Chains A and B, each alone.
Chain A
Amino acid sequence: MSFLAKRPFLLFLLPGFIIYSLFVVYPIVAAASISFFRWNGIGPKTFVGLDNYIELFTSSEMMSQFSNALLNSLQIFVLTVLILIPVQIIAAYLIYNQVKGYKFFRVAVFSPQFISTPVIVFIFMLLLDGNVGVFNKLLEWIGLGEYVRPWLGLPGYGMNIVWLMMSWSGFGVGMIFFLGAMKMISKESLEAGYLDGAGFWKRLFSIILPQMKITILNMILITYIVSMTVFDFNYILGGVSGGVDHDVDVMALLFYRIAFGESRNPLGGNISENSMGLGSTVACVLFLLIFVMSMLQVWLTYRRREEV
């Protein structure tokens, strides 16, 4: 008792520590260890060393699915960083400057965050539908009738549509983050810019952006993690297989498919027999992909702070 009385923090730590260790940390460690075994979760578990990793990167069927999913995930990342984040920063800057109607914009832009993914996918499916879709109707109406097509059935468009849905729903959160960062910037540096005669955009680029580098880096890292782990949009839109020819397949969906199987089109005895082993291997590769990027981020942030 006196041991605990001297260390009251232990009792405060214990419940959270146990549940966090059991349901967050243990699964990561366990996944790493399962990836060295050949196992389907029920049958015999045989140690195979790095065989699962070798299979993932040498089997041509696995490799083609893996690279397709990775490229699709990276497509979301690149599109978001190049298009969405700049637009979010501009939108945040407008609201920061309290343009007319900024209170309404804040609410309108954040609202889609509260719409759950199945609803978003459903609405976009209807809007883009070939027959009853509003988007085609709109094209006809403004005289672009020749461009009318069944958007969701077209190969190559799938990931762009997924990205559009994600951008629409996630736009507000990122924007609010940037807005929060802008509000932290001291008024003095802005006033100095004013007196120097810096214009509306110049103030954004030369005063505000340099001061929110860390926030932007954080958002890029979050975007990367999200694009590596996005699952629900692709699963709802394309099913377990990620659409025709894995058109909208992404990393997390590939992981799910290998781990829990594809009911309609099994990949073959080889993989379902080893679902746990190979599934964990994919999860570990994903962990590594995220870990490397996070470390890069920590290093960049640390270096920046040294400079300042």
Chain B
Amino acid sequence: MIGVSEKKKSATAASILLWIYSCFTVFVLGYMVYNSLRPKSELLTNTFGIPKSLGFDTYIKMFTEQKFHRYFLNSTLILGATLVLIVIFASMVSYALGRYKFKFKNALQVYFLLGLMFPASLGVLPLFLLMKDLHLLNSYASVILVLSAGISMPVLLLTDFFAKMPGEIYESAILDGASEWKTFYRIMFPLASPVIFSICIVMSVQIWNQFFMPLIFLQNDSHKTVPLIVMKYTSNLMLSMDKAMVASVIATVPILILFMIFSEKILDGVASGGVKG
């Protein structure tokens, strides 16, 4: 019993830390949403005063004049295509590495891990030249290809999964006359779906918030992603403070709501990735 009450005391004292952090986070979100409902004149001259008017005027402007949904579509397109490609590439590679035994397997495993050590952003000069030669500058394909090549982390997680899977499942499928390929996509791939789900979650956050690659490869306004377009509004605050606020809210809140809904699964997925990675 002594242990319990003592635990309570020190834990309560230390959790003030968590309270401060959480309150700040909630405050930031509230601050953003509240200010997004105020007109520009109020934001600059009546910052701390009682609001005279609140409304969705700027939101309407963002979708009619500024065509904000277009950037949402751009981001969604890049995210969707990249995720599909990552899942295809990574699951096939990991299946080969986890299921089969062959020469140079260990060397290949190390080869696929190199990407964890060397961030893609440092290789961007040769990438830029490569994309120029392929005539892919200013196209979604450039960003999608570069991002979907980053399969090191998914390969690491999935190889482990396929290697630990009991061999009988594979052997009975082959005995039933299924081809190697059919065994993979009909039986093995569905079995891996929980791991693939958590990989998708972790990668989605990275891809959605990706700043560097779109900055380099997507120079046209019409192709820009949400983070880049938010920066367009925040870089000239005097002119577009209200739009910057609304853009921030639109870029943040829907994703946060999705996170709240799936939080249990997402947090578990991230935790397992961290232990192995």
Contact = CB atoms under 8 A, between A and B. Distances in A.
A30 B277 CA distance: 27
Looking at chain A's contact residues, is the secondary structure mostly helix, strand, loop, or mixed? helix
A273 interface: no
A117 B248 CA distance: 10
B159 to A, nearest CB: 11
Interface stretch (A46-54, A61-69, A72-80, A229-237): A229-237
Nearest to B211: A232
B129 A114 contact: no
Contacts of B11: 94, 97, 99, 200
Interface string A195-228: 0010111000000000000010010000001000
A123 B89 contact: no
Looking at chain B's contact residues, is the secondary structure mostly helix, strand, loop, or mixed? helix
Contact of B251 (A97, A116, A177, A199): A116
A24 B167 CA distance: 32
A9 interface: yes
Contacts of A168: 24-25
A105 B270 CA distance: 16
B85 to A, nearest CB: 8
Nearest to A132: B47
Interface string A127-169: 1000110100100000000000000000000000000000010
B177 interface: no
A194 B122 CA distance: 49
Contact of B48 (A9, A125, A137, A215): A137
A54 to B, nearest CB: 20
Given A109-B22, A118-B231, A200-B11, A287 B118 contact: yes
B242 to A, nearest CB: 12
B121 interface: yes
B149 A22 contact: yes
B121 A116 contact: no
Given A23-B149, A27-B126, A123 B31 contact: yes
Interface string B236-272: 0100000010001001100110011001001100111
Given A25-B111, A87-B17, A108-B26, 13 more contacts: A13-B92, A41-B128, A94-B11, A94-B14, A99-B11, A99-B14, A105-B18, A111-B259, A115-B251, A118-B227, A171-B21, A184-B275, A290-B117
